[in-house]
Amino acid sequence: ALAAAPAHADWTGKGELGLVLSRGNSDAETLNARIDTGTEIGRWTHALGFSLLYATAEDVTTADRYELRGQSNYKLTDRSYLFGALRFEDDEFSAFDYQATASGGYGYKFIDTERTKFVGQIGAGYRVAEVRLTGDEENEAVARGDILFQHQLTPTTKLIEKF
């Protein structure tokens, strides 16, 4: 017998929006925004995200950065998965006009309970970046690793640390 997959995906997400206006001896404005969304379809999990930071002080731009990111995971077991990820960053205050990375690898859920999650990923990828001062393009292989820990302290408080 054949089983049909759902024809659509139920996407969930969360967002943040912050604005700080400071007036007095000096004037400053800061805008930050972040959107993260994801879905699970069978053995696949997909996540997409966007973040933005823009700030000025005394009419001088002090931060101007945005990032687009996406990752797809393919579940091997209840705890392990393979992943593929893309990331693009444009930060006017970094050494690069832009950076783009494609990577893939293996992830493992060391702890995966309703209250606590501890997940690690390791992999390899390729990075392309344009050096701001010279316009030269850098192309290089990269190693990627990250760790996520989150714990629900109370019904309304969650501790999240990602490295």
User: Which pLDDT does position 2 carry in this prediction?
Assistant: 47
Average pLDDT value for residue range 27-56 = 96
HSE-up of residue 161 (Cα within 13 Å, Cβ side): 5
User: Which pLDDT does position 24 carry in this prediction?
Assistant: 87
Question: Which structure tokens are listed for 92?
Answer: 């006017």
Average pLDDT value for residue range 128-153 = 95
Integer Cα distance of 81 and 46 in angstroms: 12
Whether residue 1 is predicted with pLDDT greater than 50 in this model: the reply is no
User: Which pLDDT does position 59 carry in this prediction?
Assistant: 87
Q: State the DSSP code for 5.
A: P
Whether residue 77 is predicted with pLDDT greater than 60 in this model: the reply is yes
Whether residue 5 is predicted with pLDDT greater than 90 in this model: the reply is no
Integer Cα distance of 61 and 53 in angstroms: 11
Whether residue 8 is predicted with pLDDT greater than 90 in this model: the reply is no
